[in-house]
Amino acid sequence: AQKITQTQPGMFVQEKEAVTLDCTYDTSDQSYGLFWYKQPSSGEMIFLIYQGSYDEQNATEGRYSLNFQKARKSANLVISASQLGDSAMYFCAMREVSGGYQKVTFGTGTKLQVIP
Amino acid sequence: ETGVTQTPRHLVMGMTNKKSLKCEQHLGHNAMYWYKQSAKKPLELMFVYNFKEQTENNSVPSRFSPECPNSSHLFLHLHTLQPEDSALYLCASSLSLPSGRASPTDTQYFGPGTRLTVL
């Protein structure tokens, strides 16, 4: 069974600084996908970044990068140059395929607060 | 409209009421999902529809009844709910692939959610 662990319930970061949100996972699948989502107080889950298990390069999307360490089974999200609008819940998730559809397991989330 | 939409955004209902949540996706996806998000709990997958066929029912009580008339629309019919069913209900969609290999197209895109309160 899949498992996603986010050990940081809450984080603070100064505006314009970088922050790393931790995520570890456990799976027996050889092919899997890792995702990060942002959930502002409005409730919508916003997709940020994807990393495939076979991807050799770490994924990057603008100010977001995923520090993927396969041997350690970690997929940490790095946000560079934090902005006030980055204050939100952040969820790490992992995908498995069963019967041709994706089943995604989510972590418990990290609440990030950006301080002016 | 683009992306995934959900209506209503907020719903308050009594335990004896019957109501329905609606989800619509405009992304050309063919897999749709219902999730429940309660306070201080991880996102819980409730139902999955793949090509309009229900492929997952994650031990959800029968007072929740899903319906997927086509690949673009998904409903969640609610009846005789309990106060503990109060939560944010999120709909998502993705492109279903026959291959088992992970791909960026696996990404699920979510709607804004319906915040449900059961009195």
Provide the β-strand partners of residue B70: B73
Nearest to A88 by CA among A104, A110, A72, A108: A110
Is B100 a residue whose pLDDT tops 70? Answer: no
Indicate yes or no: CB of B111 within 8 angstroms of CB of A32.
no
Contacting residues of B for A33, CB less than 8 Å apart: 102-104, 106-107
Q: How far is B32 from chain A (nearest CA, A)?
A: 9
Distance from CA of A36 to the nearest CA of B (A): 10
Element (H, E) at A3: strand A3-5
> In the predicted model, is pLDDT for residue B98 greater than 60?
no
Strand duo A88-98 + A110-115: pairing:
antiparallel
Which residues face B21 on adjacent strands?
Answer: B76
Q: Does A64 touch chain B (CB under 8 A)?
A: no
| pLDDT at site A98 | 64
* Res B57: pLDDT: 74
| Two tokens, residue A53 | 């298990």
Question: Is residue B97 classed exposed, middle or buried when 0-12, 13-18 and 19+ CB atoms within 10 A define those classes?
Answer: middle
Rounded to 10 degrees, the C-alpha dihedral A109/B5/A103/A90 comes to -10
A47 contact B CB<8A = yes
**Whole-angstrom Cα distance, residue A66 to residue A49?**
7
Subunit contact B92:A45, Cβ cutoff 8 A: yes
- CA–CA min distance A102, chain B (Å): 7
DSSP collapsed to 3 states, A4-56: EECCCCEEEEECCCCEEECCEEECCCCCCEEEEEEECCCCCCEEEEEEECCCC
Token pair recorded at residue B67: 């319906």
What does DSSP say about strands B31-37 and B44-50: parallel, antiparallel, or unpaired?
antiparallel
Most B CBs within 10 Å, among A30, A98, A102, to test the B interface = A102
Mean pLDDT of B4-32: 94
Given CB atoms, is A40 within the 8 Å cutoff of chain B?
no
Q: What integer pLDDT is reported at residue B81 of this predicted model?
A: 93
From first to last of its 116 residues, what are the pLDDT tens digits of chain A? Answer: 568 999 999 999 999 999 999 999 998 888 889 999 999 998 899 999 999 999 989 999 999 999 999 999 999 999 999 999 999 999 999 987 666 666 788 999 999 999 99
- Exposed/middle/buried for A78, CB within 10 Å: 0-12, 13-18, 19+? middle
The pLDDT score that the predictor gives to residue B11 is: 96
User: To probe the interface with A, which of B103, B105, B115 has the most A CB atoms within 10 Å?
Assistant: B103
Report the residue from B31, B90, B102 with minimal CB separation from A52: B102
B23: pLDDT confidence band, cut at 50, 70 and 90?
very high
With CA atoms as reference, the chain B residue closest to A32 would be: B102
State pLDDT tens for residues B34-93: 999 998 788 999 998 887 777 777 789 999 999 999 989 999 999 999 999 999 999 999
Instruction: Pull the structure tokens for residue A68.
Output: 């993927």
Tell me whether residue A41 is exposed, middle or buried, using C-beta atoms within 10 angstroms of its C-beta: 0 to 12, 13 to 18, 19 or more: exposed
pLDDT tens digit sequence for B2-16: 799 999 999 999 888
* A95 exposure class (CB count in 10 Å sphere: 0-12, 13-18, 19+): buried
Q: What residues contact residue A39 under an 8 Å CB cut-off, 6+ apart?
A: A45, A46, A88, A89, A90, A91, A109
